[in-house]
Amino acid sequence: MLYLHFVLKAPTDVRAFLRLLLLITPGPRVCISLLLLIVILEVTVEQATQGPLRKICTITLYDEKLPNIPPLAKEDGGHGFKPWKQPLKEMQEDVINDLLGCSGEILSPSCSIESNSVTCDCYPENQKRCRVVHIDFSNRQLQGVIPGKIGNLLYLKRLYLNGNNLRGYIPESFKNLDNLLELSLCDNLLEGPIPPFFGQMKSLKSIYLCKNFFNQTIPPQLGFLPSLEYLDLDNNLLSGKIPDELGNIKSLIGLYLVDNQLSDVLPDRLGDLVNLEELHLQNNEFIGPLPLSFKNLNKLTYFNVRGNNLNGAIPDIFEQWQDLRIMNLMGNSFSAPLHGQFSKLKSLTDLHISHLIGGSSSFPDLSGTKILRVLTLRNCSIADRIPIQIWNLSGLKYLNLECY
């Protein structure tokens, strides 16, 4: 029996070893298996190894009239790097390799560049060089920390790293990404405070940080983002009050703060979010009444404050919410009685109310809710009969009047 001992330190060593085995191993089946393994290894190595632009960019935006695709930018310099040691091309490719786990001697299972995952744009610099503008490495089982050098991709517009196992903090170098429009880091193991420097990234339109372990308070600096449309901080460990400064973001369409430890009263300034369509505040520790300023949120389609400690009478603020489809007020301590607060919500399909306190209530006026599908009035101490109009709602699919 022949024993061979190899120390395999590089991809070329592995290929040489497999080819040697192919020569000395008898049998067609073994040879076919080894040939297939060589092919797979060649593909993986080509994907993971630094090389020309086509090895990094799965989509390249350039003028097809040009004889050749422009090269990836090679200029010297960059934030935090010595220009005589590391050109920008290496910085960019190092970021890709670091994110995918391709930098070490042992390649990560995620060490490949899939289709549509990296887009490069050659137009910003007049077709002379190309820059990385889009990275989508979502759901790739990525491990480790987010490399700080990602802040050197100065033309990056969209970064999707959601659905991985990334840990640690958001690197401070992110503040260099002046062109970033969309950032998605949801569903990872990230921790620490949400960086206040996000407030300096004026181009941001979407921030998705849900399902992590971010703690401390929501930085008021987020209120300085003039173009922000979506802010998703669901399922973290955030505490304290919602900063008044969020009311500055007139462009905001969706605000998602579910399943945190946020407390104190809901700020009146949220009523200034006149373009808001979705407000998700459930499962926190908010107290006090619903602000009267909320009557200005006339573009809302979804409103959920379930599972807090809100109290006081349910105010008559919904008249202008003509686009509202779903409202959930359950699990609070709102006071009876119910009045006609909901009668003009013509687009309402789902209404949930529970645990009213302070005496009996009449059945709410739902005369204007012609397309209601789901109605929950649980533990509301309603004293009168169910009105005939409820049975005339042809679209009603679910009715819960438990402890009516």
For 86-103, how does the pLDDT look when each residue is reduced to its tens digit (9 = 90+)?
Answer: 444 444 557 787 888 876
Task: Please report the pLDDT score of residue 12 as a whole number.
Answer: 40
CA distance 105 to 389: 71
Q: Which residue has the tokens 């009105």?
A: 387
More confident residue, 260 or 70: 260
Mean predicted confidence (pLDDT) in 103-108 = 64
* ∠ Cα 235 222 305 (to 5°): 40
**pLDDT above 50: residue 1:** no
Other C-beta atoms lying within 10 Å of the C-beta of residue 128: 10
Task: Please report the pLDDT score of residue 125 as a whole number.
Answer: 84
Task: Please report the pLDDT score of residue 57 as a whole number.
Answer: 84
Task: Please report the pLDDT score of residue 10 as a whole number.
Answer: 39
Task: Please report the pLDDT score of residue 44 as a whole number.
Answer: 36
More confident residue, 233 or 85: 233
**pLDDT above 60: residue 294:** yes
Tokens of 3: 């024993």
**pLDDT > 70: percent of the chain:** 79
CA distance 294 to 218: 21
Q: What distances in angstroms separate CA 399 from CA 336, 378, 395, one per listed residue?
A: 20, 10, 11
183-208 pLDDT, tens digit per residue, is 999 999 999 999 999 999 999 999 99
Q: What distances in angstroms separate CA 319 from CA 166, 270, 339, 345, one per listed residue?
A: 45, 18, 13, 7
Element (H, E) at 28: helix 28-48
User: pLDDT confidence of 19, banded at 50, 70, 90?
Assistant: low
pTM: 0.83
Task: Please report the pLDDT score of residue 402 as a whole number.
Answer: 84
Highest-scoring range by mean pLDDT, 82-86, 200-204, 393-397: 200-204
Element (H, E) at 31: helix 28-48
Task: Please report the pLDDT score of residue 78 as a whole number.
Answer: 24
CA distance 311 to 324: 22
Mean predicted confidence (pLDDT) in 371-397 = 90
Q: Which residue has the tokens 């220009």?
A: 83
Average pLDDT of the residues of the chain: 83
Helix (H, G, I), strand (E, B) or coil at 293: helix
Q: Are 100 and 48 in contact (CB under 8 A)?
A: yes
Task: Please report the pLDDT score of residue 152 as a whole number.
Answer: 85
Mean predicted confidence (pLDDT) in 58-72 = 85
107-155 pLDDT, tens digit per residue, is 677 777 888 899 999 998 888 888 899 999 999 999 999 999 888 899 9
User: pLDDT confidence of 104, banded at 50, 70, 90?
Assistant: low
Highest-scoring range by mean pLDDT, 131-140, 182-191, 334-343, 383-392: 182-191
Lowest mean pLDDT among 50-59, 226-235, 290-299: 50-59
CA distance 19 to 8: 13
